[in-house]
Structure 1
């Protein structure tokens, strides 16, 4: 009897493990892609602007908005008094008001909203407010917050063993401190929400957000309505990077409030400068460390103090600071370790999620420690890294008591060390630096071990909805959002594979709270893991119905029904997929199904600071080579070699794009993207003119990326793939440490550089000058002796 092998000469176009272009790539480059601000303006559309605080910390004594209301084109002015529900859009703790009422806590905080006939009229009118303040003392830095014990959340400590005793008995010991700067998301599409009033006080919102359900719930809370009164749709975003996980809710709430109050559609499209001033960033950190180690460089004990700038409210700072603690080990076994986290409250904008979600900051700390240990012992840092890697039993438990079961870093590092010719290049760089008084080179190889899952357990769930229409075409919907990262094409490939139909048959639709409820944010690198599994479950349910129907109709066993290449083999005969769908429809078989998935195995006990917060780890490593000009501090990234583990890639083309983009974004964070607040608490770097993201010319001319060919996920993740959204960003730590290596050459590698991030030309130059002064002083001392 024929079986599925009869059909193996044919294949579907676009299943899993195929390198396919992004589904909207051609629309992105031609301008056809429709973003929220491209939606045709509905009749009577109102445009919005926010009145912002001019003080970092002050009481509001009075607020005269009469001139604002009288300004040309103004239709409505809304304040906290106009909110029928709760004046709050905080995602976890309700400490983030839509409009400040009695006290302002950062420059740029929203005080009121103006709705006008044009965007320009709204923006001009917002500047006419007369506000009297009574200034209060602001807290503007992590150092100030630590000194005043000013925190948004309680401290948290992860401890294993007795680090104090182990430090005291260590053969060698050193301590230091590292400042790690924040980062603006600088998405191409700024914050934008369009709200349409509906019947019964309901509202429809098109929003640029990574978390439609959270926007829905927050807006409903502001309006004093149930969540079913608010529908949020998201077809695509022009970038998100975490910045649109929680903070889209403020602008959506103001748009929705305006629409409901006026009965007219309202759009809040935020100006770039206002966007950068009003929205949170990556948390900047101060990391203090105290490490003990033996003659070989093996770490015997380490204490970390991590202090994060959270801003004026909690936002997601608790989970972000936790993840920084979870990644304080990166790839290394730490036997006696204490990690203390302080979540600092400052009178600056509330910081929020950013690609890596605290993990990068934690990793930079331990990588600096490894470099310091190697420097103290005059060893190659790679030698010390390999010595301290997680290993077999007895050296495979994290500080939070999770067993590392899938470590492929030794394999990755061995392969990358050879393919990048690391040892030869490092020796040549030392020779070059000895004979080059001005231009100096540096090189570094660093690994990445990044935990995958939301550390908040209930967020690890997803839903999907699939319809198959009578003509055989498929409509796919799930809770994930598309911000350019390629989630939608991957999930469509998964459905195509499950139903064995061409990808072109599947219509990718917008995420909608009206179709899939209670979704989690598209974040934590879990978009494909969660939504791919949910969509697979929905497709599998329909497929199983079709198998049962075909077996019954054609009087064969279910095991004799095979789907392959747009056809269905039923016993001895084969019919097209479309024909079977048509027959099933006429026979009243349901061709629609939901799917649901929740990640297994994960838990974390805060009382004992132990558990399994991640389902699995993603791994990678990078070698970066740089050259600095020691007279100006400027540098160039010469060459980058990357080997990254994505398991069995669902779409290698998309994954390679994510690796390249992640590395470059991490490189920008650590070298050029500097946030600066002045002494009043005003952000001065709020436009492309003052804030430098990497440009095309900053990409190394020699950029070599490769996926680990033996990649495989031992856990039951969708098609044995691994997440790729966030882990590659941390590969850029290699570039930061390569800069430090280059600076160290100025003093013939005898003095530690102590370079903070971002390593801007100014910081590099200051580090170079310090080393020159100290080296000159040391030479004078030696001469005098």
Structure 2
């Protein structure tokens, strides 16, 4: 049956398209004012853009095969929870092309590769805890032969009871880490004393990373008993450490090289390490290079996802809708091991307020252990799952009081005086949430569109439209303090060209070009004269993962520090050689001005070299001000907050549950943008990925704990036709970060992801219109057409019951 939703015309008029384009161009042009040759603040294309388009970018799997290179595969558990009685691998060892087979017994060093807490064995030890857990590893002469061989194993199990739901884990108190509570005031008394009380719950689905380049590593033995690792990893230093530990060799014998990733999104922060370790173990055993790449289905089965959450709340509020007291419980499905779940659930707790002041509040986080793959980092790192509950609360309060949800959101926003401290006791400084919302409300014609949509819904029984404006306040810093550090290495050669290496990893997000622009700005040279090398553990040691939206903040500052050191040496040299004051030495337009003389940058570096000036320096940066006392639940875990807001409009077909996103307007504060084009691209991509998480990307496990949505045919990521037909993105103008960040910019990687909550809230708004906005519909995520249809049916039933 042809859907009635097609009756509505979605095509954007040509004039509208031109308007969007002009708005975007204006944003880019404004960002180019008052910038030097270095180009900070100027739109520069991704340094590998041409290579990406031409197919010339080299990823790990594109590297030429090494002499004698073997290919790895692993045998996988068939049960979610079982003891391993016996493993007969004789047929595996005898299979065509097989050179080596190893089990955990063959690991010379550490067998547990847990990134923070133990619990992640490199290969199963005595039992299995999820379907797909690696049992043993094979090295064979081809990828196909290795995959065929592992299927020949004969394994006997003693099946154990599996925990496969959050509710079951809560009932059994089955946790990977102990529960934790953040508390301010007496929330129970405040709720009881409030004029109104509400309670509710929501299931927030997980999300497959679905990076275009899957997990892949190559391990090459070296002549000194060490190992070179080429890996698609967001955390080369951790790979270095874990490979050294499983091989029982010093870290200085392991080199990790990471040129670029075809996407990571958090899925390669910790979980790239296992495949590198297995490749290294096989390479150590065979004394030959070993490549280990996961087929897409194996990748989806054996690697963790965004944590699904099951959250609930009780809230008390006054007649205007202002929250007086609140209890929120966030229950993270962590899978079978700790991985990064402790910090992820912490961040869900930190962001359970989103943009709203919670005076009397108790936030509890449970880290539930289930017999599924261990879930891991994903863009937002628990923040999105935490924000979903408070945004549901805003809608629930609004429907209860018969008000526009935007009115309720605005009345609960963080203020500037007495309403500016979070439930974890950090002051929300430099708060511009109200200004952003007011500006977007005006620029998006929110009020006029709200009235038009209400009229549309009153006159249409089948098609319904929804509109929602939701804000985001997202804390920037790793919540684990020691990770907030970075290093960089800068060389200037005698022809004036510059070599740059830093501890961050490029996964398509444009980190390298932004850091190169920072170095170019310091020397006032063209960014094209800077060559950016791969992230290597022998150039920048002990690096933190590229995660937590901190890549540019940390590595940009470290690179700037290195550049400033060299620049000062050049200034000192000029002062000594030409007898001038430091104030008479200037860098501009690829020249060095010394008093009345002018040298090209290349000429001056040659002179400095002849004068025996060091033209190489390391740089280091650590984030200031941050601290958090977990014992008291108080501190300043975040250096600053990134803020933004989005308005989304949707239309649904109440007969089928099908829907479309008609228009989205975004206003994001990125401070002084280092590269507006890259930043806008990150905002667009984050929003679409967030929309996929909340609408189409559904993870499904069966009753035995087997992942059924394990390939592109059964798991739907958003495509171009899911993009809003009218998509408008703007950066807040003239908004320097008041904290001393790199060129007063703000992080942009994760914060826009949560702007997609506006689409989910708009779907709820459309469904609520069925009952004249008197009902706040329950809508778990992902809000697939089926779930939308079920929610429509529930609201219709409520309306019918009320009419009797």
TM class by smaller structure: over 0.9
Tell whether 2:650 aligns with 1:629.
no
CA deviations on 1:45-64 (whole Å, 9 max, x unpaired) are 10011110000000000000
| 1:536 to 2:560 alignment | yes
Q: Distance in 1 between matches of 2:137 and 2:35?
A: 56
Spell out structure 1 runs of 4+ moving beyond 4 A. Answer: 9-14
Residue 705 (structure 1) aligned with residue 729 (structure 2): yes
In 2, the alpha carbon distance for the partners of 1:611 and 1:10 equals: 38
Give 1:750 deviation, angstroms: 2.4
Deviation at 1:200, TM superposition (A): 2.0
TM-score of the two chains, using structure 2 as the length reference: 0.95
Aligned to 2:174: 150
Residues of 2 paired with 1:751 and 1:573: CA distance?
Answer: 76
Retained in 2: the 8 A contact 1:534–1:595? Answer: yes
Query: Aligned to 1:288, which of 312, 335, 339?
Result: 312
Residues 604-633 of structure 1, C-alpha deviations (whole Å, 9 max, x = no match)? 000110000000000000000001111111
2: CA distance between counterparts of 1:766 and 1:566?
Answer: 64
How many residues get paired? 772
Corresponding position of 1:3: none
Structure 2 residue 399 is matched with structure 1 residue 345: no
Please tell me whether residue 373 in structure 1 is matched to residue 404 in structure 2: no
Residue 453 of structure 1, aligned match among 477, 485, 492 = 477
1:95 partnered with 2:114: no
Alpha-carbon distance in 2 for matches of 1:233, 1:91? 19
* Aligned counterpart for 2:410 among listed residues 373, 386, 404: 386
Q: Deviations over 1:298-338 (max 9, x none)?
A: 00111001100001000000110100010011111110000
**Partner SS for 1:362:** helix
Alignment correspondent of 1:436: 460
| Residues in 2 aligned to 1:341 and 1:85: alpha-carbon distance in whole angstroms | 35
Structure 2 residue 613 is matched with structure 1 residue 579: no
Task: Report if the CA contact (8 A) 2:400-2:775 is conserved.
Answer: no
Counterpart check, 1:556 vs 2:556: no
SS at match of 1:311: coil
Cα deviation code 1:318-375 (max 9, x no counterpart) = 1101000100111111100000000000000000000000000111110100110111
Question: For residue 734 of structure 1, what is the aligned residue in structure 2?
Answer: 758
Are positions 1:470 and 2:494 aligned together? Answer: yes
Superposition deviation, residue 758 in structure 1: 0.7
Assess if the C-alpha contact under 8 Å between 1:12 and 1:502 holds in 2: no
* Unmatched 5+ stretches in structure 2: 1-32
Tell me the alpha carbon deviations over residues 678-734 of structure 1, each in whole angstroms, 9 at most, x when there is no partner: 000000001110000000110011000000003210110000000000000000000
Match of 2:634 in 1: 610
Q: Secondary structure at the match of 1:397?
A: coil
Q: How does 1:82-161 map to 2 (within 5 A)?
A: 82-161=106-185
- By how many angstroms is 1:196 displaced? 0.6
Distance 1:227 1:313 in 2: 25
Moved more, 388-397 or 479-488: 388-397
Q: Secondary structure at the match of 2:234?
A: coil
Question: Is 1:567–1:576's contact at 8 Å kept on the other side of the alignment?
Answer: yes
C-alpha separation in 2, matches of 1:381 and 1:472: 58
Alpha-carbon separation, structure 2, partners of 1:508 and 1:144: 50
Q: Return the offset for 1:598.
A: 0.1
SS at structure 1 position matched to 2:218: strand
| Contact 1:445 1:622 (C-alpha < 8 Å) held by counterparts | yes
Q: Which residue of 1 aligns with 2:720?
A: 696
User: How far apart, in 2, do the equivalents of 1:407 and 1:752 lie?
Assistant: 30
Deviation at residue 752 of structure 1 after TM alignment: 2.3
| 1:402 Cα deviation after fit | 0.3
How far does the alpha carbon of each residue in 1:73-116 deviate from its partner, in whole angstroms, 9 at most, with x for none?
11111110110001121100121001102110000100011110
Structure 1 match to 2:799: 775
What SS class does the counterpart of residue 493 from structure 1 fall into?
A: helix
1:519 and 1:141 map into 2 onto residues whose CA distance is 37
Residues 1:184 and 2:204 aligned together: no
User: Hey, what does 1:762 align to over in structure 2?
Assistant: 786
Distance in 2 between residues matched to 1:298 and 1:256, nearest whole Å: 57
Corresponding residue of 2:256: 232
Question: What does residue 96 of structure 2 align with?
Answer: 72
* 1:306 correspondence with 2:307: no
Kindly state the Cα deviation for residue 588 of structure 1 after the two structures are TM-superposed.
1.2
Q: Does 1:267 find its partner at 2:268?
A: no
Q: Report the alpha carbon displacement of residue 201 of structure 1 after superposing the two structures with TM.
A: 1.3
Give runs of aligned pairs for residues 372-521 of structure 1, distance below 5 A: 372-521=396-545
Post-superposition offset of 1:13? 4.6
What does the per-residue CA deviation read over 1:746-769, in whole Å, with 9 as the maximum and x for residues that have no partner?
222222211111100111111111
- Secondary structure (helix, strand or coil) at the match of 1:657 reads helix
Aligned equivalents of 1:710, 1:734: Cα separation in 2:
25
Measure, in 2, the Cα distance between the counterparts of 1:530 and 1:35. 25
- Tell me whether 1:222 sits opposite 2:246 in the alignment: yes
Mapped to 2, the partners of 1:109 and 1:51 lie a distance apart of 8
Residue 645 of structure 1 is aligned with which of 669, 672, 693?
669
